[in-house]
Amino acid sequence: MLKSDLCIKVSLIISLVGVFILPSCVVTKNSVYFTDIPDTAKFREIVPAAFNEPIIQPDDILSINVQTIDPSNSAAVNQVSSMPAIGASSASTVGSQTISGFLVDKNGTVTMPMLGSMKLAGLTTYQARELIAQTASRYFKEPNVQVRFANYKITVIGEVTRPATYTVPNEKVTLLDALGLAGDLTIYGRRENVLLVRDNNGKKQFIRFNLNSSETFQSPYFYLRQNDVIYVEPGKAKVAANNAARTQTLAIVGSILSVLIVALSRL
């Protein structure tokens, strides 16, 4: 009879432990991306959202390079200044950085040696390249101009492996690219509720993504813009993991279970 009673108690305790462990199963289930695509689908085609080239704005830093047949002729034009900026190209270089380039002033203009001031705000990098090449052709024969953002940065915070501000060389950056730079979501991150914060004409926009759905690719916000902030919210499992009282209770239950198992083994 005693052994039977102990077995019943052990069963009850195991059930309690299962209640504590159950959230981990939920976490595993919610850690999969794009669950609406069945495992049996060998091929599926999705038309992603259209990509719109970013627009140059005041306070942007542009990398501008004018190339000519004789590099010494254009050396003076390509002289740039360095300025401090906040960003990171990797998790190990988070913090203050020095970026070389031409600053777009408050009036939206860029001043280059020899070429003078040109208004580039409101243009894409392609349009800016055409304007600079047109101006440079007054001094050089068939100049080749390259224009890129030097401080194109994206911030990823919350439940990711490496939260940081990342400076990226590519203007065509997607939500998944940014999460990849940050080392992906942790097991506690809510994949069904990723928040994007964007500045738009002095106003803040808040957009939610559900990474469990392939509709993410069709969102007009799938391609990021400069200075976008991505926040990954922690799930209930993270809250439970940080609950000291619950952790202590689980430890006590585990200790009692161990004692009962030893007692049963000696009967």
List, for residues 82-108, the tens digit of each pLDDT value: 665 554 444 434 444 667 889 999 999
**pLDDT of amino acid 37:** 81
Would you state the pLDDT for residue 4? 55
pLDDT at 25: 46
| Per-residue model confidence (pLDDT) at position 83 | 61
Q: Does domain 31-50+152-234 have CATH number 3.10.560.10?
A: yes
The pairing of beta strand 96-103 with beta strand 61-67:
antiparallel
* Residue in 186, 185, 162, 161 with CA at minimum distance from that of residue 175: 185
Residue 93: per-residue pLDDT:
42
pLDDT at 265: 65
Q: Which pLDDT score is estimated for 245?
A: 57
Q: Residue 191 has what pLDDT?
A: 94
Q: Among 3.30.460.80, 3.40.50.510, 3.30.1950.10, 3.40.50.970, what is the CATH number of 61-149?
A: 3.30.1950.10
For the chain, list residues with pLDDT below 50: 1, 19-28, 87-96
CA-CA distance, 197 to 207, in Å (whole number)? 7
Helix (H, G, I), strand (E, B) or coil at 140: coil
Helix (H) or strand (E) holding 61: strand 61-67
pLDDT of 154? 95
CA nearest neighbour of 146 among 77, 226, 99, 52 = 77
Question: How much is the pLDDT for 151?
Answer: 87
Q: What pLDDT, on a 0 to 100 scale, did the predictor assign at position 143?
A: 92
